[in-house]
Structure 1
Amino acid sequence: MRIEIQEYLDSRPEEKLFVRMHPEWYRKLSRSPWELSHLKSAANQFYGRTFSQRLDRFNQRASMMSMLVSMAQAMSAQKSKD
């Protein structure tokens, strides 16, 4: 692997860990170092940093909060009946 790519990975520990967990990237980067931008997008997808993944997590949290609020309202309504 080229020295520039090693220095790039040394400066970004999360991407370095991604390359260690996915050894096919060693081959890709050593054969075609210009695919470094693809590494960044693949690492972002792996770590869940894409916009759609963040939006999905937000929707899940919002639905969980909605469920908790409705459960609390149901409990308080039942408590007021008793």
Structure 2
Amino acid sequence: MDITVYNYLAGNARLTMFVRYNPEWYRYLSRDPDRIDELEKAAKQFYGQTFPQRVEKLNNQVQMVGMLLQFAGAMKD
């Protein structure tokens, strides 16, 4: 692996863990160090940090709060 890619991964613990969980990225980065942008996109998707994933998570939380409020309202009656 290229020393600049290695140092970049060493400075970013989240990406380092992603590469450890997905070892095929060792090969990709060894053959083409310019794929670091693809690595970051794949890591965001893996960790659920893309915009659609965040919106879905927020939507699920709002639904949960709504159900809890309905349940609390039903308990009062």
Identify the residue that residue 80 of structure 1 maps to in structure 2.
none
Cα distance in structure 2, aligned partners of 1:58 and 1:9:
30
Deviation per residue, 1:15-73 (Å, 9 max, x gap): 01110111100000010111100000000100110011111110000000000001111
In structure 2, the partner of 1:49 is: 49
Partner residue, 1:9: 9
RMSD over aligned Cα, in angstroms?
0.5
RCO comparison, higher one (Cα < 8 Å, 6+) = 2
Counterpart residue type for residue 17 of structure 1? M
- Paired residue total: 77
Ranges in structure 2 where 5+ consecutive residues have no aligned partner: none
Amino acid paired to 2:54:
R
Q: How does 1:1-82 map to 2 (within 5 A)?
A: 1-77=1-77
Name stretches of at least 5 consecutive residues in structure 1 with no aligned partner: 78-82
> Stretches of 4+ moved more than 2 A in 1?
none
TM-score, normalised to structure 1, is 0.92
- Alignment-mate amino acid for residue 16 of structure 1: T
The structure with the largest alpha-carbon Rg is 1
